[in-house]
Structure 1
Amino acid sequence: MSAAPLLSMEHVKVEYVSSLGAVSAIPDLTLDIRSGESYGLVGESGCGKSTLLMAILGYLGQTGRIANGRIVFDGLDMTHADAATLAKVRGRGVSIVYQDPNAALNPTLTIGRQLIEVPMLHEGLDDKAARAKARRILADVHLPDPDAVMERYPHQLSGGQKQRVVIAMALLAHPKLLLLDEPTTGLDVTVEAAVLDLVNELRDKYGTTLLYISHNLGVIAKVCDRVGVMYLGDLVEEAPVGELFARPRHPYTRRLLACVPRLDSDKHRTTFLPIPGQPPSLSARPRGCSFGPRCAGFDAPRCGVAPIPEEPVSPGHAVRCVRWRELDQFESRDIEHVTPATPSQDRVLEAADLSKVYELGNAFFGFGSTRRLIANEDLSFDANKGEILAIVGESGSGKSTFARILAGLQDATGGKLTVLGQDLSRLPAHRRTLEQLSAVQMVFQNPDATLNPSHTAGFSIGRALKKFGVATSRKDLDARVKELFGMVRLSPHLARQRPGRLSGGQKQRVAIARAFAGDPKMLVADEPVSALDVSVQAAIVNLLLQIQARRGATIVFISHDLALVRHLADRVVVMYLGRVMEMGPVASIFSPPCHPYTEALLAAVPVPDPTVKQKHVRLEGEPPSPINVPAGCRFAARCPRKIGDICDTTPPPDRDAGGGHLIACHIPIEELRRVTPIFQRAPAPQTA
């Protein structure tokens, strides 16, 4: 790492201009990134992270402009460069990897055609030389059979493969600076881990400088050397990664870290501390400290005076807060402990050999064997009243299929699914009684798919209340809607707003209120917080725990976030390719013995603590097709601990690890117990 900055931003001010005037997205930002380092930017949505990347590239559009300051890259002042100069810098000097690879790839062109354009444009190579270089870079990003990949179209690749292609495209011209804009959001935890490993490996190989933005603090802890924390366009804290996570000094940084789930704690020992309120709009930027309206320690005479100076804490660590030395005096004032529900022994859900198979028809115009896609097979587990049962696994493991059967959106093809004493496995929603419908309600990942954009937020809740006969008169309806909005901690006046006027967290709260309108006995939550900021996620999780404690509902929680599952769940079911690999109490799942698949999932979790040493286990290849499932263990083809042909030919037995902990594996329990723990904390440095 060089001491000289490769990228230097000096008092940069970014504005967006409209008919109503100009608003500042970034009011005054100064930042240096040294050559060879990996720098992370974190903060909530709307804090200015992506705007900063677009300013570096000169992609602010017709309404955006750099109103003040300079952005100097490798000696070139980008703020005054003409279009031709910027075009040369993009690609060879600076490249970017976007969050959604589908937005970066042309669906009408092959991967090879899109890749070879880069060296042909930036280096003047002919078709043959450019194709050879593209093939080499695909091998560098560990895509198997690069020649075959180059002939495919984007839709023929998985999400992880497409993200690797986008990274390869960004690195083809050997840029000095690589910008990464949430490149692993939406990927499975195993794919995310492989992509992060790849980024670190390519950084070492090519000496590329990284500017990585993310709301996932675990990712930042894993890949970055230094971290900057942004809020409302201000850089409020900056420090080496270890220093920031060990000793955060800004109230905003502390609250962000207090919202992050950890693998060494759970809901009985730790309560998330959501950040109160919402970030103000850019046009209503507060005077003085931008975080002031949400800070427990706001002191108007000191904090309400602009500008707030940057103060040094230690070498390389600076904070923009006048009360950072007094944090411990005011940060503990608004701690609210959330008491979780105590599960009873009353069984409310029981799946017995539950299966869902799709008949795909004959292979060739009626000739040949009928093809079958196995989404769920022989699922057997249960849940008690007041319990949170988490179902985890990679995409395609069958989690959401089970959730849809439970909610009545699909019917099963085999086995039983008993809910409150009634078998609902072959009762889709249109055949269920009102009592059965109200008993099981669902919260989806995307609240926009739940709420009608043409009606107010209160309309969808009122419609559910009328459907289930909870309220009939207008007076009762309005009172009940107001009560439900209060339950999810939303102001009643928001019931008159359309969903488009609400934030993501507010919309998800409305979706939760709608789900509880019929007083359900069971809530199916399918990735309900995966698209939300960490602070909003913490508030929603606390809300679910509080509502569950009051109402005694059972929650089936579908997620790929194992850190969140560790905090939230009572019991866990681990699924792979439609079958249960492991299940048991949450504490048992997160320590040996565990199934090799569970071990790989845990080893892939990005831990928001640089002092934790994590075992390195990575899965090779893709899961088998559910149309052609293996005869033996479904996981055998990718298992790093495969013991022989028996794994390929014979379904594994359910081994009892005690206390309701079952593992479907050919490896004996005694041997699984000898597996070293996934996480180990590095010893604290000794002082003289």
Structure 2
Amino acid sequence: SGCGKSTVAWSIVNFLGANGYVKRGKILFQGQNLVGKQGEELRQLRGDQIAMVYQDPMQALNPSLRLGEQMNEVLTVHRGISQEEAEQRSIEMLERVYMPDAANVMKRYPHQISGGQQQRVVIAMALLNNPALLIMDEPTTALDVTVEAAVLDLIAELRRDFDTAIMYISHNLGVVARVCTSVGVMYAGEMVERASVEDIFANPQHPYTQGLIRCVPKLGSDKAGSVLYPIPGRVPAPNARPGGCVFGPRCDYVTDECRAERPALRTINNTSVRCHLAEEIDPAAWEPSEAVELPVAGAAPALSDTADQAPILTLNKLQKYYPVVGTSFKDVFGMGEKRYVKAVEGASFSVAKGSTLGVVGESGCGKSTLIKTIIGLEDATGGSAEFMGFDITGDLSQRNLQLIQELQMVFQNPDSTMNPSYTVGQQIARPMVRFGTVPKNAVRGEVVKLLHAMRLGENYYDRLPRQLSGGEKQRVG
């Protein structure tokens, strides 16, 4: 996170912030330089020949327009077709990304569908005009595995049938291996390695690429006996990058030459790599340095250790219904038949102290609604929920501060949970001050400790959310 991947994508479509600009170089698309293009000329390219799928679907969708209106606009503006034809094509594209009840989804507003469904709408919008260049910024993060597989197949089909060029930005190396033909690895704003996907995974040249691959679990390996080796340190801030090689402070092979001279991007055996020592490094001979903190064997509790623990959270036939508001005369005056969307129906389970319960399912099946009902952001329709011996089924106002403190949530979308007007430090400090868990004179120090634990430096304390990448926002959340 924070290496500049999304910034490169935004530069292509000129979506940089007011203080951002392309300082040097060119962006060539079909032979024409995009740098400096403005207004109508650039608007004709966006959404038509160049389409982008954003990391956060809620930032890409207009909350005040129905989804159908937003999708139809892509076709009516760039293709000049009728509303009826645009509506039909939009429904067909939603069905291709496996959206259930696509015609009905077209009538809804963004907040009325799940996060995974929002992402499917954004992907469908980007694909509507069969763009020549499709930029995808973490497009499948919010999708369940079945829909992710279908979307990745659709991307491959688009590339094969329409000869579409795709720029796929991702942290997920498994997805990269599946959908990409070549890979560019970025670090601290620089491209440090570029090669075919086969060469990147079979023979990585740069120490940073090698470190990333060592962090990926191997299929079939024993969890108890396997160790993933994290890369020590953190990505330097843009205004505090070191002289010489930017990866030098975190590299196991760093030399005086690396610290003094910035390496050029050069080609070695069909791989472009930015490293002085690329020919000399043998990844197979690598051993972890003392700076790498390895997990202690047996630190995680065994299943048998938690099986006899009393449950800390118990749900019994929990229900959450949403009333469906009709538009007929009877519905307006409350005389029509009552109808409900049964978001959660009869959920029952318990969670013991020290254990982890996984809740899985396809997008829109009620996972987030279930958690919001437990946390108190939604009122339960029926059933019961008990936490630490207290009934939490009722209104949130009935809970005391201790219950609220003990029951916390990491949300799916960090942008929706962070106040854009407050700094990172202020937002992390707020619950400490509110619950009185840390003396006021020690709050800043505790916040800095938490930032370091999330591989974020003290310099993040005074940053605003808009100054963070998507991955950095998630770590703050």
Q: Does TM, scored on the shorter chain, surpass 0.5?
A: yes
Report if aligned partners of 1:453, 1:500 keep a CA contact under 8 Å in 2: yes
Q: Which amino acid aligns with 1:322?
A: H
- Secondary structure of 1:355's counterpart equals strand
Q: Which amino acid aligns with 1:426?
A: T
- Secondary structure of 1:379's counterpart equals strand
Taking the aligned partners of 1:95 and 1:431, their CA distance within structure 2 comes to 48
Q: Which aligned pairs between 1:47-446 and structure 2 lie closer than 5 A?
A: 47-57=3-13, 64-79=20-35, 94-100=50-56, 107=65, 109=69, 111-120=71-80, 127=81, 139=92, 142-143=95-96, 155=110, 158-171=117-130, 175-260=131-216, 264-265=220-221, 268-299=224-255, 301-314=256-269, 316-324=270-278, 325-326=280-281, 328=283, 332-333=288-289, 334-339=291-296, 340-342=299-301, 343-344=305-306, 345-349=308-312, 351=314, 353-358=316-321, 360=323, 364=331, 365-410=333-378, 412-420=380-388, 422-426=389-393, 428-433=395-400, 436-445=403-412
Cα offset for 1:225? 0.5
Of 500, 524, 529, which residue of structure 1 is paired with 2:464? 500
Taking the aligned partners of 1:447 and 1:59, their CA distance within structure 2 comes to 21
Name the stretch that deviates more: 182-191 or 387-396: 182-191
Deviation sequence 1:595-620 (CA, Å, 0-9, x none): xxxxxxxxxxxxxxxxxxxxxxxxxx
- Secondary structure of 1:397's counterpart equals coil
Taking the aligned partners of 1:492 and 1:136, their CA distance within structure 2 comes to 45
Deviation sequence 1:408-436 (CA, Å, 0-9, x none): 5555454444444x252435554345554
Taking the aligned partners of 2:224 and 2:54, their CA distance within structure 1 comes to 38
Taking the aligned partners of 1:90 and 1:160, their CA distance within structure 2 comes to 19
Deviation sequence 1:120-144 (CA, Å, 0-9, x none): 4xxxxxx46x975885686467458
What is the aligned length? 449
| Bigger Rg, which one | 1
Report if aligned partners of 1:48, 1:231 keep a CA contact under 8 Å in 2: yes
Match of 1:657 in 2: none
Match of 2:422 in 1: 453
Deviation sequence 1:552-577 (CA, Å, 0-9, x none): xxxxxxxxxxxxxxxxxxxxxxxxxx
Cα offset for 1:115? 0.7
Taking the aligned partners of 1:496 and 1:199, their CA distance within structure 2 comes to 36
Evaluate the alpha carbon distance shift between residue 429 and residue 101 of structure 1 in structure 2; reply closer, same or farther with a 3 A threshold. Answer: closer
Report if aligned partners of 1:288, 1:307 keep a CA contact under 8 Å in 2: yes
Q: Which amino acid aligns with 2:276?
A: V
Evaluate the alpha carbon distance shift between residue 154 and residue 219 of structure 1 in structure 2; reply closer, same or farther with a 3 A threshold. Answer: farther
Unaligned runs of 5+ in 2: none
Report if aligned partners of 1:178, 1:209 keep a CA contact under 8 Å in 2: yes
Cα offset for 1:97? 3.9
Cα offset for 1:118? 0.9
Match of 1:665 in 2: none
Evaluate the alpha carbon distance shift between residue 280 and residue 209 of structure 1 in structure 2; reply closer, same or farther with a 3 A threshold. Answer: same
Deviation sequence 1:358-404 (CA, Å, 0-9, x none): 36388623324433443333333333332122222234333334434
- Secondary structure of 1:389's counterpart equals coil
Q: Which amino acid aligns with 1:338?
A: P
Report if aligned partners of 1:95, 1:177 keep a CA contact under 8 Å in 2: yes
Q: TM-score, normalised by structure 1?
A: 0.54
Report if aligned partners of 1:405, 1:425 keep a CA contact under 8 Å in 2: no
Taking the aligned partners of 1:263 and 1:332, their CA distance within structure 2 comes to 21
Report if aligned partners of 1:180, 1:210 keep a CA contact under 8 Å in 2: yes
Q: Which aligned pairs between 1:507-526 and structure 2 lie closer than 5 A?
A: none
Report if aligned partners of 2:48, 2:78 keep a CA contact under 8 Å in 1: no
Cα offset for 1:117? 1.7
Evaluate the alpha carbon distance shift between residue 131 and residue 227 of structure 1 in structure 2; reply closer, same or farther with a 3 A threshold. Answer: farther
Cα offset for 1:237? 0.9
Report if aligned partners of 1:352, 1:378 keep a CA contact under 8 Å in 2: no
Evaluate the alpha carbon distance shift between residue 366 and residue 266 of structure 1 in structure 2; reply closer, same or farther with a 3 A threshold. Answer: farther
Corresponding position: 1:532 with 2:471: yes
Q: Which amino acid aligns with 1:159?
A: Q
Identity fraction in percent: 33
- Secondary structure of 1:532's counterpart equals helix
Evaluate the alpha carbon distance shift between residue 379 and residue 266 of structure 1 in structure 2; reply closer, same or farther with a 3 A threshold. Answer: farther
Deviation sequence 1:148-172 (CA, Å, 0-9, x none): 589857648842552243123341x
Taking the aligned partners of 2:147 and 2:74, their CA distance within structure 1 comes to 23
Evaluate the alpha carbon distance shift between residue 209 and residue 102 of structure 1 in structure 2; reply closer, same or farther with a 3 A threshold. Answer: same
Cα offset for 1:236? 0.6
Taking the aligned partners of 1:302 and 1:292, their CA distance within structure 2 comes to 10
Cα offset for 1:336? 2.3
Taking the aligned partners of 1:58 and 1:426, their CA distance within structure 2 comes to 48
- The two structures, once aligned, show a CA RMSD in angstroms of 4.5
Taking the aligned partners of 2:10 and 2:148, their CA distance within structure 1 comes to 24
More strand by share: 1
Report if aligned partners of 1:310, 1:321 keep a CA contact under 8 Å in 2: yes
Cα offset for 1:198? 1.3
Taking the aligned partners of 1:335 and 1:189, their CA distance within structure 2 comes to 32
Cα offset for 1:213? 2.1
Cα offset for 1:227? 0.5
Taking the aligned partners of 1:61 and 1:441, their CA distance within structure 2 comes to 33
Taking the aligned partners of 1:442 and 1:82, their CA distance within structure 2 comes to 42
Evaluate the alpha carbon distance shift between residue 502 and residue 318 of structure 1 in structure 2; reply closer, same or farther with a 3 A threshold. Answer: same
Taking the aligned partners of 1:360 and 1:389, their CA distance within structure 2 comes to 30
Taking the aligned partners of 2:198 and 2:376, their CA distance within structure 1 comes to 48
Cα offset for 1:292? 1.8
Taking the aligned partners of 1:72 and 1:362, their CA distance within structure 2 comes to 51
Name the stretch that deviates more: 231-240 or 70-79: 70-79
Report if aligned partners of 2:320, 2:344 keep a CA contact under 8 Å in 1: yes
Taking the aligned partners of 1:134 and 1:205, their CA distance within structure 2 comes to 23
- Secondary structure of 1:400's counterpart equals helix
Report if aligned partners of 2:317, 2:384 keep a CA contact under 8 Å in 1: yes
